[in-house]
């Protein structure tokens, strides 16, 4: 039976709880909260986020013949599809392969069932070769084993799984699109028995079966060894970070949306606070405000404390720092401010003045060619010259799919040590400016996201007030 006939035969056969507390000011729901999220979805449908030009450049710089990735965020970066199956089972499920040869298409290896029921509906604008696996045919598994030429014979794959039309319910347009798309793909590349075989075929097409490959998970090396391929593998993290620090146009658009959404959610949560609210109240508000807007909350650090169980009461006269992180379509927003619940101490006022001065001095100098070490020096020199003696971390970091996505290494004490990175056009950075002194009546913080342009820096979230006063 031909593939086309096979398909035709198959055709025949969190509500968020309302927060009620006297210490929390109620706010009416805004039906337009998801506008930005929906705009981001359209951006992802236009094509994968990856900066392909940067990818090819880095592959050549690192002497790699290609990359093979399987971690969900990397799958998303290469395709626009987030591999939820891998998240559910904490196990590799899909793979993406990219060769340094720009004339060769990107390859996707995926479970056919997931491809059919999840991937196709995304309508991702991808120019890729897709290798789908269906599992072993249970009635024909006896052929596996080594042959005389030392090659391994592939078991017979199971037939593809498709939707079966019931008489009482005609096939929908969605299902018809799934069937037609699957038929087209399997006509081009027939199904494989499992992901071992699908990955082998994709590697052979890209000529990565005998190259040097950067990988993001050891299961890839295990498959290569199992299939007797001559490819060599290295940890691909460094190369991937070098690629990701230079954002594509789509990534910049997504980062603008995520950063502003994160800032809006943070401010909205804080403005609902009243005397007697607790740390947990504020976290719940932040998580709720993020979710209403389509962002997924990651953390809200309050003052110097980031604890799941700490629950200090916030009172009139308190001053505290917040550091808020959430992501939209996996791209991170990062926003820091100082909050005054009433009149702050003189020391707190001076601390916020100091970090504002330091940040302004840095912002004036941000441009391609500036080093991380120079950023720290510029900010500290400005504060010192003005007579401020506060201990400010003043830490720049690149941000994107990860909160910190630039190259580096594990240093002393297992802390991540970033390279002394040189700023380039289309990087997006944050500069953390926390004052963690406990003897000034609280802690202070200031943090916004900046796109590095050809001649300077552009804020991608509204700066607004440096201090939030309640």
212-248 core/surface letters (b: 16 or more CB in 10 A; e: else): bbbbbbeebbebbeebebebebeebebbbbbbbbbbb
pLDDT tens column, 309-349: 889 899 999 999 999 999 999 999 999 999 999 889 898 99
Q: Is the CATH code 3.40.350.10 the one for domain 3-30+52-244?
A: yes
pLDDT tens column, 438-452: 677 888 999 999 999
First vs last Cα of the chain: how many Å apart? 72
Token pair listed for 307: 């604890």
272 pLDDT exceeds 70? yes
Read off the pTM.
0.90
| The predicted structure's pLDDT at residue 147 | 46
Phi, psi (degrees; rounded to nearest 5) at 136: -80, 140
Residue carrying the six token digits 């003043």: 394
pLDDT tens column, 126-184: 999 999 999 887 665 555 555 445 567 888 999 998 876 666 677 888 888 999 999 99
Asked if 109 and 78 touch (Cβ cutoff 8 Å), the reply is no
Least confident piece of the model among 21-30, 121-130, 202-211, 309-318: 21-30
Q: Which residues contact 247 (CB under 8 A, 6 or more apart)?
A: 51, 255, 400, 426, 427, 428, 451
> Which pLDDT band holds residue 20 (cuts at 50, 70, 90)?
very low
> Which pLDDT band holds residue 89 (cuts at 50, 70, 90)?
confident
> Which pLDDT band holds residue 84 (cuts at 50, 70, 90)?
confident
**How many angstroms separate the CA atoms of 308 and 211, rounded?**
46
Asked if 198 and 132 touch (Cβ cutoff 8 Å), the reply is yes
**How many angstroms separate the CA atoms of 459 and 454, rounded?**
14
Asked if 333 and 460 touch (Cβ cutoff 8 Å), the reply is no
Helix, strand, coil: what percent of the chain each, to 5? 35, 20, 40
Mean pLDDT, all residues of the chain = 89
DSSP H or E run through 54? helix 52-61
| The predicted structure's pLDDT at residue 228 | 92
**How many angstroms separate the CA atoms of 174 and 118, rounded?**
11
- Rounded to an integer, the average pLDDT of 223-240 is 96
Token pair listed for 257: 């949306």
Q: To the nearest whole percent, how much of the chain has pLDDT over 70?
A: 87
Which fold, 249-469? Creatine Amidinohydrolase (3.90.230)
Nearest to 216 by CA among 90, 89, 95: 95
Asked if 331 and 405 touch (Cβ cutoff 8 Å), the reply is no
Nearest to 214 by CA among 328, 72, 69: 69
Domain ranges of the chain: 3-30+52-244, 249-469
**How many angstroms separate the CA atoms of 314 and 320, rounded?**
9
């Amino acid at each position: 039976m031909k593939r086309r006939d096979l398909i035709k035969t198959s055709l025949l056969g969190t509500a968020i709880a309302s927060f009620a507390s006297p210490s929390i000011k109620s706010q009416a729901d805004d039906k337009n909260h998801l506008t930005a999220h929906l705009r981001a979805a359209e951006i992802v449908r236009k094509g994968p986020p990856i900066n392909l030009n940067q990818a090819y450049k880095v592959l050549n710089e690192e002497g790699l013949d290609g990359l093979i990735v399987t971690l969900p965020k990397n799958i998303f970066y290469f395709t626009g599809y987030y591999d939820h199956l891998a998240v559910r089972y904490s196990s590799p499920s899909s793979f993406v392969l990219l060769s340094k040869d720009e004339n060769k298409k990107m390859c996707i290896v995926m479970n056919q069932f997931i491809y059919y029921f999840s991937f196709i509906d995304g309508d991702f604008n991808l120019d890729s070769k897709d290798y789908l696996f269906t599992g072993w045919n249970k009635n024909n598994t006896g052929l596996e084993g080594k042959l005389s030429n030392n090659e391994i014979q592939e078991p017979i794959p199971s037939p593809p799984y498709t939707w079966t039309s019931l008489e009482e319910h005609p096939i929908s347009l969605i299902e018809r699109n799934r069937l037609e798309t699957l038929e087209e793909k399997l006509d081009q590349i027939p199904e494989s028995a499992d992901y071992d075989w699908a990955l082998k075929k994709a590697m052979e097409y890209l000529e990565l079966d005998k190259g040097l490959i950067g990988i993001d998970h050891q299961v890839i090396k295990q498959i290569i060894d199992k299939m007797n391929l001559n490819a060599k593998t290295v940890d691909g993290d460094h190369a991937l970070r070098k690629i990701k620090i230079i954002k594509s146009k789509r990534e910049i658009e997504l980062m603008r949306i995520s950063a502003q959404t994160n800032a809006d959610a943070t401010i909205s949560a804080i403005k609902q606070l009243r005397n007697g609210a607790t740390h947990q109240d504020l976290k719940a508000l932040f998580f709720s405000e993020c979710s209403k807007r389509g962002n997924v909350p990651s953390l809200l650090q309050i003052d110097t404390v980031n604890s799941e169980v700490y629950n200090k009461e916030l009172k009139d006269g308190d001053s505290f720092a917040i550091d808020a992180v959430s992501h939209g379509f996996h791209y991170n927003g990062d926003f820091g401010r100082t909050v005054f619940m009433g009149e702050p101490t003189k020391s707190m006022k001076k601390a916020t003045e100091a970090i504002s001065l330091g940040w302004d001095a840095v912002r004036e100098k941000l441009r391609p060619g500036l080093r991380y070490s120079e950023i720290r020096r510029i900010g500290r020199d400005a504060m010192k010259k003005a007579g401020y003696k506060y201990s400010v971390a003043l830490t720049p970091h690149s941000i994107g799919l990860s909160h910190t996505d630039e190259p580096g290494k594990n240093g002393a004490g297992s802390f991540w040590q970033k390279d002394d990175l040189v700023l380039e056009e289309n990087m997006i950075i944050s500069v953390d400016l926390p004052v963690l002194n406990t003897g000034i009546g609280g802690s202070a913080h200031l943090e916004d996201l900046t796109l590095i342009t050809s001649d300077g820096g552009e804020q991608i979230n509204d700066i607004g007030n440096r201090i939030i006063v309640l």
